[in-house]
A and B are shown apart, each in its own frame.
Chain A
């Protein structure tokens, strides 16, 4: 097939998915599943070659299949966002959605020029968000080649957080575009020096302004970007050393993102978000010092006036967390106190799940195992691939984040565990492909 016909077919499929969802057509979701599996098979059979177009097609079908459902916005967090987007900036309003520059500036501006907030949320932002896998595809392609990049991105897309959870959070959708661009910049060897650091700083600040959650991830990955290769320098691991000339620019994105946090979040709602971050950090430290000792202060330091996260959101944890009660209990092990998703992730509820639940967990653990295997092979056969040292640093950071979610008390209260996992997949997704590939090659 030539490229124009690929594009037309992809657009047609996306359009049909959007219309089907909007009209609540019963068959559309099934057809979408079939089409996505069909595309993945045709790619491996070599029938489809314009991978970027098919990545976008799958991405848009998945996202619009959620956001275009019915005549109104779909989701939980999205309603609070809808309120703020229609309301516009209120400098004193202590509400998490009021801290998103996207919602308080961009949405009202788009509304002013005639694009209703409803359609911004249902169509415009989701379409932009559907470009995230495309950007990642081009980033991964530089490192592992086109077809493997396609499957790495396919894995990223079919993790349900991408098309269910994030697709209900406008600020995250747009923020993830900047995170994806950051991944591209990190993966790119063509973008160098000051230009690279400036690009990273820009992406980091924009992502942070859109959604504080992504801003936190950005800070973590920047730590990995600069820190891990630097450490490798110190311990003389040649493969992923950081060229010393880059170090002087490291301050640029760091200063940029710290300034964004301090200025923007310090201004909005009398700085309630900074207080919130501070409390989470304090609680983590407190809990880490005595995780098995009865304490009533793990959650309590958060003053009631700064309860800012809606209690009904599925993705942003309420500050007034019911787990505080459980923390009081003596004799409950740390892992028993972890949130359900974390316990599921480490297999603690395996035997309590249904047959299909067990089957799903096995597949899920398989993908997670392949990621770990892939990273180990990457470290072993680093030169077989085209990963930049900084990208490897970010992969290592992603593993550290996941371990932190499991083992650092209160760490997962910042964001859902599922969100941590999805953010880490921005760097980890290629590892699944590397893992399978290296296992197959290892049979030699």
Chain B
């Protein structure tokens, strides 16, 4: 054999031995360390080890979700999780230091191996333990890949929901409300308003914050919202109505109360029940509280179910984390009353339950079959000490009823630009009362309020008429002549505050829904606050998204920066 050939054999031998090492075979066989330079590894042979960021489809879904939803909040992840996130966002959005507030992203590898991977120097890795997530709240999950938000604040349950958030753009008392709704009841969306220094709510310019039609489940309506805080995240529970008028309850999350996302997409958290159940026809009107008691039933929900006969009744559900819910076994918890009683058709659409001196107090809407089609919903009181125990209706229900007398036809033309109206009878009206001037043919109406009652047949309105309203075919009508439905209830230390919705009955098809405010010292007798009603400003025919209605006020208190 020539020396040239020998040289080639030697080269082949040296390179073969070298390749045994560089291929990662020795590393794999001998179990070398990854936190210091020892023998080379390969990705192909080490795909189950920490070296490779090998990702599952669920990891990628979580990364995409974070990219769309994290806002300005940093995301804590291990070396491989952070690398994955870099594919979907600017790398500066990730952090390897766990600090509050931030998201925590754990890949399926992290969960299944119960470890994190740290990059030390280039090419080297070491393991570390999973972070302490005892104060974190899970906000998104796909398989074993999961996203948390760190830090859980204790919530007050005896008053309005207190919300704190260091990134809040809203501060103070905030109301989430339904707006929109056309003559067919479609296009309800959700908006937000914040109280100014005088307590008046100012609507956010960017409303609606949740617009119907984004999903199939809310093709017709997104409404009945309720907002709480879970960790550093706001969670909104709301109802969606499909184009087939099937109602289901969903949730959205936000870091700033402005930008909301629906993590589960079309999936409802409280879907309609099976045949024969009280909620077979759909679920709506969720009201959720955080009891603060960590466990399987930390979060409690009272919601509305519609049965096959069309009766609405209140049901109960519970959750450990606020996101996965289980319906109670004793539903409905507030069944309809006996025939002929004030709530013999429906007993639902509750306010939030308020814990006071060991008892939960809650307002609910009762529908009276005898009062159909208008003015049929009134407000009653129910108490209970255990969500899964007995619910006691107050014997003096209803505690709030509509003001049917504030409804009188014009007896003289009300000319555009004037504000003195002549009606058949002014005895049903009060000074300061919010009213509509409406044409009976539904072609036009205007929202204003009564300035003074000048005589038994004449009233002066606060605003000039924006059109000419003919005699006998137009009328002055109180804003709460129709139905009443509760929304938010809280106790401010001296009085109970009831934010509710008032309807007008002048048509069977066109519905105006306006927020209203009443106070009480005993929950039985309520004083309507005309001066501050409607708390959510309402202007009809102004061309805005909410000029048909601004109702169902969900009032929360945000304490920014705490």
Contact = CB atoms under 8 A, between A and B. Distances in A.
Contact of A360 (B6, B21, B57): B21
B79 interface: yes
Nearest to A24: B47
A76 interface: yes
Interface stretch (B36-44, B248-256, B494-502): B36-44
Given A310-B91, A357-B32, A418-B123, A147 B43 contact: no
B24 to A, nearest CB: 8
Interface string A341-376: 100100001001110110110011011001000000
Interface string A310-327: 111111010000000000
Contacts of A43: 12
B25 interface: yes
Nearest to B10: A436
Interface stretch (B48-56, B210-218, B361-369, B525-533): B48-56
Interface string B282-295: 00000000000000
Given A70-B47, A70-B55, A340-B124, A160 B10 contact: no
A314 B90 CA distance: 18
Contact of B40 (A33, A78, A160): A160
B395 interface: no
A440 B7 contact: yes
Task: Select the residue from B43, B55, B60, B89 with max chain A CB neighbours within 10 A.
Answer: B43
Contact of B37 (A29, A75, A340, A444): A340
Contacts of B119: 76, 312, 314
B14 A367 contact: yes
Given A33-B25, A83-B87, A40 B55 contact: no
Contacts of B44: 21, 28-29, 32, 65-66, 69
B353 to A, nearest CB: 47
Interface in A397-444: 416, 418, 432-433, 436-437, 439-441, 443-444
Nearest to B54: A70
A379 interface: no
Task: Select the residue from B3, B8, B96 with max chain A CB neighbours within 10 A.
Answer: B8
A232 interface: no
Given A44-B12, A74-B53, A83 B88 contact: yes
B82 interface: yes
B8 A147 contact: yes
Contact of A354 (B39, B45, B54, B124): B39
A76 B14 contact: no
A354 B30 contact: yes
A352 B40 CA distance: 16
Contacts of A416: 122-123
Contacts of B21: 356, 359-360, 363-364
Interface size class of A (residues with CB under 8 A): 35 or more
A292 interface: no
B197 interface: no
B42 A29 contact: yes
B19 interface: yes
Interface in B41-77: 41-45, 47, 52-55, 57, 60
A437 B86 contact: no
B91 A151 contact: no
A36 interface: yes
Nearest to B39: A360
Nearest to A363: B18
B22 interface: yes
A256 to B, nearest CB: 31
A314 B27 CA distance: 19
B509 interface: no
A313 B82 CA distance: 11
Interface in A56-83: 65-66, 69-76, 78-80, 82-83
A18 B368 CA distance: 71
B16 interface: yes
Nearest to B37: A344
8 contacts: A29-B44, A80-B91, A83-B90, A310-B86, A360-B21, A364-B21, A433-B11, A437-B11
Given A160-B24, A340-B121, 5 more contacts: A41-B16, A158-B22, A158-B23, A363-B18, A436-B14
